[in-house]
């Protein structure tokens, strides 16, 4: 880069996603490549990018087949973009979509590219089938043998139990606990009530249903395999119905249920990022600018209740760099992996005692009327790598419709990580 070269502003100029589908429903036979290609094709059509040579496409999936080692490049080749458009895979659990946007945004800011796409996709229906470790090592050993007899000798080591597929483990490798089990500990440790979790879930569904009715998502979604809207959305849910659901992770004294937690989901999303000059040249309005982002991690093996609380660190660091207060935003998009995780984050921000435990002064409360105003993950659901694109797109449209303002984004992730972002108009 040239000395003293000015940093370029990074604009969000487009977006697209597929309707999100609960596991083993509409997209049960669709692969990550099928879904991501469809989301990209929808973006290309909406913004007339046929034949366009872009700087780069970045994104990825959390759950991938070994054959998908070059997933995003293969997806690009399945579109009408110029095939000379490069692509790369990024994976950071539920942060994937946001981190991909940061990657593309940084390249634009530094003048390395003028335009790029960030995306993410995940299927929890069409997942890799894993064989037992003994079967895997035996097959590899047999492959190394030079004679038929040698191979046969290896095969004789197998037992019937070795032939059964292994269920894909969903837990954290270092604790053996699922994300839901960790969050159940979070709810207990921080005193998050079941009633408050159910209320947040209800509001998410109500807000998203209203947004659909108002046409907010009309220019943001490409129908796929017969699905036109997120099929996790429950228009008829109520506090009474939510209160009747049994705990999912702690059957005896738990507060997390299928209603106040996100289900396994399939889907894909993407956003189009560009410099101001590229946007003007292609007659695309600047919806919003990405101005700050911060990635953080947290210790969660000893403190198992803190798995999804890395955004506490990311928020404090980012606000300090931006010279802003938590109250300086017009909209807040906080990923609703679990209602308990959102409520815990808000509680820590507000509490002097809890904030001090993380090493910070309290940030204070936010106006809850500005939080997830079009519904969030509890209603739309959560295809891991695809959530970031959905959240960025929602924030960009909110700021564009308002005509000015600031938006705050927070996404938690497996592995004790989390990412935050500021968008402005």
Examine the domain organization and report whether 296 and 158 are in the same domain: no
Read off the pLDDT of residues 126-160 as tens digits, 9 standing for 90 and up. 988 888 999 999 999 999 999 999 999 999 999 98
417 within a domain of the structure (yes/no): yes
Task: Say if residue 344 is in the same domain as residue 309.
Answer: yes
Distance from the first to the final alpha carbon of the chain: 27
CATH number at residue 395: 3.40.47.10
| Confidence at residue 154, expressed as pLDDT on a 0 to 100 scale | 92
Tokens, residue 110 = 């530094």
Average of per-residue pLDDT values in the chain: 96
Q: Are residues 363 and 331 in the same domain?
A: yes
- Is residue 11 in a domain? no
285 versus 166: the higher-pLDDT residue is 285
Q: What angle do CA 127, 128, 134 make, to 5 degrees?
A: 145
Write down the residue that tokens 């079967």 correspond to.
Answer: 135
| pLDDT at residue number 130 | 83
Question: If pLDDT is split at 50, 70 and 90, which confidence band does 3 have?
Answer: low
Q: Which residues pair with 290 in a beta bridge?
A: 10, 423
Of 18-27, 42-51, 134-143, 289-298, the poorest mean pLDDT is in: 134-143
Instruction: Output the CA–CA distances (angstroms, integers) from residue 86 to 155, 313, 367, in the order listed.
Output: 43, 34, 42
pLDDT at 121: 98
**384 is a domain residue:** yes
The answer to whether 40 and 57 are in contact (CB under 8 A) is yes
Same domain, yes or no, for 205 and 154?
Answer: no
Whose structure tokens read 């999936």?
61
Model confidence over 91-127: pLDDT tens digits?
A: 999 999 999 999 999 999 999 999 999 999 999 999 8
b/e burial code for range 304-319 (CB count within 10 A of at least 16 → b): bbbbbbbbbbbbbbbb
**One domain, residues 306 and 360:** yes
Over the stretch 57-66, which tens digit does the pLDDT of each residue have? 999 999 998 8
- In whole angstroms, give the CA distance from residue 243 to residue 204: 16
The Cα–Cα gap between 240 and 236 comes to 11
Which residues form the domain of 376? 179-216+291-424
Determine, yes or no, domain membership for 404. Answer: yes
- Say whether 117 sits in a helix, a strand or coil: strand
Are 206 and 144 found together in one domain? Answer: no
pLDDT at 131: 87
List helix spans (H) across 145-222: 148-155, 179-190, 194-213
- Residue 4 has a pLDDT of 61
The model's pTM is 0.95
**Residues 98/392, Cβ–Cβ less than 8 Å:** yes
Neighbours of 109 (CB within 10 A): 18
Active site residues: 94, 382, 412
Band (pLDDT 50/70/90 cuts) for residue 162 is confident
Q: 144 in a domain, yes or no?
A: yes
* Residues 184 and 155 placed together within one structural domain of the fold: no
pLDDT at 67: 87
pLDDT tens profile 336-366: 999 999 999 999 999 999 999 999 999 999 9
Q: What integer pLDDT is reported at residue 127 of this predicted model?
A: 84
Phi and psi, residue 43, nearest 5°: -65, -45
Q: What is the pLDDT of residues 252-299, one digit of tens each?
A: 999 999 999 999 999 999 999 999 999 999 999 999 999 999 999 999
- Residue 349 within any structural domain of the chain: yes
According to the model, what pLDDT value does residue 346 have? 98
Residue 137 lies in a domain: yes
Record the tokens describing residue 254, joined without a space.
């738990």
User: Domain check: are 341 and 412 in the same one?
Assistant: yes
**Tokens describing residue 266:** 């399939």
Residue 403's φ and ψ, nearest 5 degrees, are 95, -10
Is the same domain home to 373 and 416?
Answer: yes
Q: Please give the pLDDT value at position 360.
A: 98
Domains held by the chain: number: 2
| 3-state SS class at 332 | strand
d(CA 202, CA 235): 9
pLDDT of residue 169: 64
> 139 and 206 share a domain?
no
Provide the CB-side half-sphere exposure for 310 (13 A, CA). Answer: 21
In a domain, 37, yes or no: no
- Say yes or no: 353 and 416 in one domain: yes
Tokens of 322: 């931006």
Strands 115-122 and 265-275: antiparallel
pLDDT of residue 416: 98
User: Is pLDDT of 170 > 80?
Assistant: no
Residues 202 and 347 in one domain: yes
């Amino acid at each position: 880069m040239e000395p003293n070269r000015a940093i370029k502003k990074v604009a969000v100029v487009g977006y697209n996603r597929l309707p999100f589908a609960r596991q083993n429903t509409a997209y049960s036979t669709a692969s990550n490549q099928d879904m991501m290609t469809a989301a990209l094709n929808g973006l290309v059509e909406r913004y007339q990018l046929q034949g366009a040579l872009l700087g780069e496409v970045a994104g990825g999936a959390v759950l991938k087949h070994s054959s998908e080692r070059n997933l995003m490049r293969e997806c690009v080749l399945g579109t009408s973009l110029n095939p000379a458009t490069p692509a790369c895979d990024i994976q950071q659990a539920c942060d994937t979509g946001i981190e991909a946007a940061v990657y593309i945004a940084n390249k634009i800011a530094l003048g390395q590219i003028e335009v790029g796409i960030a995306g993410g996709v995940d299927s929890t229906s069409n997942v890799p089938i894993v064989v037992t470790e003994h079967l895997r090592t035996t097959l590899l050993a047999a492959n190394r043998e030079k004679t038929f007899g040698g191979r046969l000798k290896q095969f004789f080591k197998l037992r019937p139990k070795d032939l059964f597929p292994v269920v894909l483990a969903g837990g954290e490798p270092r604790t053996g606990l699922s994300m839901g089990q960790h969050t159940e500990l979070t709810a207990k440790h921080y005193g998050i009530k079941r009633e408050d979790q159910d209320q947040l879930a209800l509001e998410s569904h109500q807000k998203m249903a209203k947004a659909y009715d108002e046409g907010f998502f009309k220019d943001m979604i490409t129908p796929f395999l017969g699905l036109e809207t997120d099929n996790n959305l429950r228009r008829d849910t109520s506090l009474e119905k939510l209160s009747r659901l049994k705990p999912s992770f702690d059957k005896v004294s738990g507060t997390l249920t299928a209603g106040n937690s996100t289900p396994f989901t399939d889907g894909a999303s993407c956003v189009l990022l560009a410099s101001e000059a590229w946007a003007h040249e292609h007659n695309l309005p600047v919806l919003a600018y990405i101005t700050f982002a911060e990635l953080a991690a947290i210790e969660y093996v000893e403190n198992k209740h803190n798995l999804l609380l890395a955004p506490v660190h990311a928020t404090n660091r980012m606000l300090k760099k931006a010279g802003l207060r938590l109250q300086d935003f017009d909209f807040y998009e906080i990923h609703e992996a679990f209602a308990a995780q959102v409520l815990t984050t808000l509680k820590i921000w507000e509490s002097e005692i809890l904030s001090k435990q993380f090493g910070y002064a309290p940030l204070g409360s936010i106006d809850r009327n500005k939080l997830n105003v079009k519904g969030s993950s509890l209603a739309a659901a959560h295809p891991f790598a695809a959530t970031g694109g959905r959240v960025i797109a929602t924030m960009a449209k909110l700021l564009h419709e308002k005509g000015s303002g600031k938006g705050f984004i927070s996404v938690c992730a497996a592995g004790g990580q989390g990412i935050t972002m500021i968008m402005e108009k």
